[in-house]
């Protein structure tokens, strides 16, 4: 740990350098959240110096209410100290009149998840963190999810990506702003500041942070690159760190220039349960890769280079070719790539809704329609209207008990970003049908 908690006056901490720094961060946040709904920020805090510094800046700015998210990965016996530190800091801000942040503190077994997902502990940690941040962000109507990635993270990420032989999208590195789901954005307002700047801020403002012992464990690739490979390269190539950051910015500009075209091709080809290949017939490899990333995000599959490559091989393969991604079976059809769950029926009482259409179970009929679709329905027909832009199949249709507090049959359920309206369930029925997002891997 570092200095004593709350050693600096809450209104005058750090002097002029810190007031300038806070003003720059506030300007970045305002620029990055522009157009996003909601007013609350969901900040990921590990208990390390970087996220503690950003939390302090946002608390003192007081322009946005905060929800703090912390995930214990189950890798260190002393991890409970991180959660205790976060709770203590939240109490201190409230005592100083800087507002009370809502806290979400969770734990999981990342090693077990990595084994289940067949990926490294590092990859499993990233995947779980962003999955949980996305879920909470949707549920809380968050303006933006915020992380404290900084300039040195960018250089280390670029080096790792280049050593893996990444393509143009990978070489863009860490994005300052990206879409997590629907209109939920992830922003990184201190990406232009170095690790040394954030730690100096902590020291000047008397902030406590915890040093994660696993950050020195050279078995993890990130630590090996940070402490060994990058310093070695820089001794032979002075200024390499800045060159890596410059390379990322160049490729970010290239990708940004093509975003409109990618969005048009995705909207032109996507139809709920398949993607028409004519939409990208004349697209470059870069644009096609971006479209495949849209599809992976839609399916809830981790966006990885090998998954993008698998989709490209499928699209270029013969009719009938198949590929498996997560829980999905993807099929090469004559003019499209289609997808369905590998195991669509997960119990006799549950039916998977894999896309728009009509489904039957135990004599009941459920019809899924997009909200902008016009079609006559019968009185005995269950109809679920879906937001075309926000929903992501599959959903599970199962029997549930009626809500005793709501005598009407109309049931409106908002889960994640998917808005479902179940209509036509006549009053007096003993059981109603409910739709839930299916589990994803």
In three-state form (DSSP H/G/I as H, E/B as E, the rest C), the secondary structure along 277-320 is HHHHCCCCHHHHHHHHHHHHHHHCCCCCHHHHHHHHHHHHCCCC
By the 8 A CB rule, do 54 and 22 touch?
Answer: no
**What is the spatial distance between Cα 37 and Cα 253, in angstroms, rounded to a whole number?**
25
Both 33 and 116 in one domain: the answer is: yes
Residue 7 lies in a domain: no
**Closest-CA residue to 421 (of 241, 404, 390):** 390
Please tell me the predicted confidence (pLDDT) of residue 422.
Answer: 34
* Pair of tokens at residue 86: 């976060």
Please tell me the predicted confidence (pLDDT) of residue 183.
Answer: 78
Please tell me the predicted confidence (pLDDT) of residue 40.
Answer: 92
Residue-wise pLDDT for 332-354, tens only, equals 999 999 998 775 444 555 566 66
Name the least confident of 7-11, 181-185, 262-266, 317-321. Answer: 7-11
**Closest-CA residue to 126 (of 44, 51, 206):** 44
Band (56; pLDDT cuts 50, 70, 90):
very high
Both 248 and 332 in one domain: the answer is: no
Please tell me the predicted confidence (pLDDT) of residue 3.
Answer: 40
For residues 63 and 417, the model is more confident at: 63
Residue 384 lies in a domain: yes
Of 164-168, 407-411, 432-436, which one has max mean pLDDT?
A: 164-168
Domain boundary among the residues 303, 320, 339 is at: 339
In this prediction, residues 419-440 reach a mean pLDDT of: 35
Phi, psi of 10 (to 5 degrees): -65, -25
Residue 10 lies in a domain: no
Please tell me the predicted confidence (pLDDT) of residue 413.
Answer: 31
Both 210 and 269 in one domain: the answer is: no
Both 249 and 269 in one domain: the answer is: no
In this prediction, residues 411-416 reach a mean pLDDT of: 28
Residue 407 lies in a domain: yes
Both 112 and 206 in one domain: the answer is: yes
Domain boundary among the residues 304, 339, 374 is at: 339
Q: How many domains does the chain have?
A: 3
Both 328 and 398 in one domain: the answer is: no
For residues 112 and 415, the model is more confident at: 112
Structure letter (DSSP) for residue 337: E
Radius of gyration of the CA atoms of the chain, in A: 24
For residues 417 and 118, the model is more confident at: 118
Please tell me the predicted confidence (pLDDT) of residue 428.
Answer: 28
**Closest-CA residue to 159 (of 254, 228, 217, 212):** 228
In this prediction, residues 299-305 reach a mean pLDDT of: 75
**What is the spatial distance between Cα 298 and Cα 288, in angstroms, rounded to a whole number?**
15
Both 299 and 375 in one domain: the answer is: no
Domain boundary among the residues 316, 339, 362 is at: 339
Residue range(s) defining the domain that contains residue 358: 350-437
User: Taking the CA of residue 272 as centre, how many other CA atoms within 13 Å lie in the half-sphere pointing to its CB?
Assistant: 14
Please tell me the predicted confidence (pLDDT) of residue 122.
Answer: 83
Please tell me the predicted confidence (pLDDT) of residue 1.
Answer: 46
Both 62 and 106 in one domain: the answer is: yes
Query: What distance lies between CA 159 and its chain's CA centroid?
Result: 23
Q: Is the pLDDT of residue 419 over 50?
A: no
Q: Is the pLDDT of residue 64 over 90?
A: yes
For the chain, the average pLDDT equals 78
Of 88-97, 181-190, 362-371, which one has max mean pLDDT?
A: 88-97
Both 107 and 156 in one domain: the answer is: yes
Cβ-Cβ contacts under 8 Å for 406 (sequence gap 6 or more): none
Q: Is the pLDDT of residue 322 over 80?
A: yes
Outline where DSSP puts E strands in 32-73.
Answer: 40-44, 66-72
**What is the spatial distance between Cα 293 and Cα 301, in angstroms, rounded to a whole number?**
9
Please tell me the predicted confidence (pLDDT) of residue 272.
Answer: 77
Residue-wise pLDDT for 126-181, tens only, equals 889 998 998 899 888 799 999 999 999 998 888 887 877 666 667 778 889 888 87
Q: What percent of the chain stands above pLDDT 70? A: 73
Both 179 and 229 in one domain: the answer is: yes
Residue 1 lies in a domain: no
Please tell me the predicted confidence (pLDDT) of residue 248.
Answer: 83
**Closest-CA residue to 168 (of 308, 316, 326):** 308
Please tell me the predicted confidence (pLDDT) of residue 348.
Answer: 52
Residue 37 belongs to a domain with what CATH number? Answer: 3.40.50.620
Name the least confident of 72-86, 182-196, 310-324, 361-375. Answer: 361-375
Residue 132, CA distances (Å) to 64, 191, 305, 346 in order: 21, 22, 22, 24
């Amino acid at each position: 740990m570092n200095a004593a908690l709350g050693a600096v006056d809450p209104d005058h901490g750090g002097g002029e350098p810190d007031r300038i720094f806070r003003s720059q961060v506030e300007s970045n946040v305002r620029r990055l959240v522009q157009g996003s709904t909601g007013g609350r920020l969901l900040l990921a805090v590990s208990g390390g110096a970087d996220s503690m510094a950003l939390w302090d800046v946002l608390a003192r700015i007081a322009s946005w209410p905060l929800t703090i998210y912390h995930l214990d990965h189950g890798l260190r016996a002393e991890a409970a100290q991180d959660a205790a530190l976060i709770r203590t800091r939240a109490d201190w801000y409230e005592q100083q009149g800087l507002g009370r942040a809502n806290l979400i503190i969770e734990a999981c077994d990342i090693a077990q998840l990595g084994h289940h997902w067949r990926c490294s502990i590092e990859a499993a940690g990233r995947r779980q963190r962003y999955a949980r941040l996305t879920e909470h962000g949707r549920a809380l109507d968050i303006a933006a999810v915020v992380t404290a990635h900084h300039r040195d993270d960018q250089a280390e990420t670029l080096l790792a990506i280049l050593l893996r032989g990444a393509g143009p999208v990978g070489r863009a590195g860490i994005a300052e702003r990206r879409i997590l789901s629907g209109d939920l954005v992830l922003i990184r307002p201190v990406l232009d500041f170095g690790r040394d700047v954030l730690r100096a801020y902590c020291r000047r403002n008397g902030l406590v942070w915890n040093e994660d012992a696993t950050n020195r464990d050279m078995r993890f690739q990130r630590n090996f690159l940070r402490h060994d490979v990058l310093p070695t390269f820089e001794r032979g190539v002075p200024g390499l760190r800045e060159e890596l950051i410059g390379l990322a910015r160049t490729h970010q500009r290239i990708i940004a220039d093509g975003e409109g075209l990618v969005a048009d091709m995705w909207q032109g080809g996507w139809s709920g349960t398949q993607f028409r290949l004519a939409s990208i017939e004349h697209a470059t490899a870069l644009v096609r890769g971006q479209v495949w990333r849209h599809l992976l995000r839609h399916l809830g599959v981790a966006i990885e280079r090998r998954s993008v490559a698998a989709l490209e091989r499928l699209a270029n393969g013969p009719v009938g070719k198949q590929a498996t991604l997560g829980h999905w079976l993807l099929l090469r059809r004559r003019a499209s790539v289609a997808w369905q769950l590998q195991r669509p029926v997960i119990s006799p009482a549950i039916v998977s809704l894999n896309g728009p259409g009509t489904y039957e179970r135990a004599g009941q009929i459920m019809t899924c329609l997009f909200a902008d679709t016009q079609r006559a329905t019968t009185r005995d027909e269950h109809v679920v209207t879906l937001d075309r832009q926000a929903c992501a199949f599959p959903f599970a249709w199962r029997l549930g008990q009626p809500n005793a507090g709501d005598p009407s049959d109309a049931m409106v359920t908002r889960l994640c970003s998917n808005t479902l309206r179940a209509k036509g369930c006549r009053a007096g029925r003993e059981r109603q049908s409910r739709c839930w997002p299916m589990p994803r891997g």
